[in-house]
Amino acid sequence: MDVQATFDALDDNIVPVFALASLAMLGNYIWFFGAISAGKRDRVFTIPLFLTFFWFAHDSSFVLSYDRWFNTYDHWFPQLFWVLIIFTVGFELYYMRQTLRLGQAELAPGLTPLQFRIGFIMCLAAMYIAWIWLKQSMQDPVYLDIFALTILSYPCLAIGMMLRRGDRRGFNGVMCAGFLMMTFCYFTASTIFFGPYFQRPSYYLVAVASCVTAAAMTWVYLHLPPAPASTSTASDRSEVTA
């Protein structure tokens, strides 16, 4: 990737890039707040476990790379992204806590709570190591290629989680709408305005696959039965906090 060529393309199209990127991040936060609501409603974890680890490794490493964005490159796009990703890391910490509190019965019923927590931490550490290796293997110094991978991976795993549960537990229409909004806006911006590197056939395929799987996830959600009515007590519900 020619980083300077990408930054030049962003500068040449600052208005549409800023508008579409803002809409994409708005869709991201709509989706995330929808996931919090679905988890409180159904008392289940709402983000597939692999993605909780993968996203946290991706986003926290981006935040920790402050010097790269503000000194090495000193460009408005990664700097703005850095600010927004701080909030995303906060959501991901919430989802990890949500999984630790509500996920053991579904993910590891044969383990004790202590064993589940230890296994959770070990898997998180392993994913961070895998992330470092993956990042070093990709010629993607500004995280734009791999950001597309974080989008494409969600609907594929979310569909599997919905089908395994057999109903809408842990999902709602807000999540689907927010994710569709984010996916469409981000890939519209990147394929049109990010420069020639993002106008290759392989990237177009990633963009199409992401939009199609996001639509497929929504279709699956709409065709599943509603989540069972909650039978938890008021005191149980009060344990799930943001």
Buried (b) or exposed (e) across 110-136, using 16+ Cβ within 10 A? Answer: eeeeeebeeebeeeeeebbeebeebee
Report whether 217 contacts 34 (CB < 8 A): no
With a pLDDT cut of 70, the percent of the chain lying above it is: 95
Give the per-residue pLDDT at 234.
Answer: 35
Give the per-residue pLDDT at 230.
Answer: 57
Give the per-residue pLDDT at 235.
Answer: 32
Give the per-residue pLDDT at 96.
Answer: 94
What's the N-to-C CA distance of the chain in angstroms? 39
Q: How far apart are CA 54 and CA 130, in angstroms?
A: 9
Q: How far apart are CA 127 and CA 52, in angstroms?
A: 10
CB contact set of 45 (below 8 Å; sequence gap of 6+)? 39, 95, 98, 99, 102, 103, 106, 107, 170
pLDDT under 50: residue ranges of the chain? 231-242
Give the per-residue pLDDT at 62.
Answer: 93
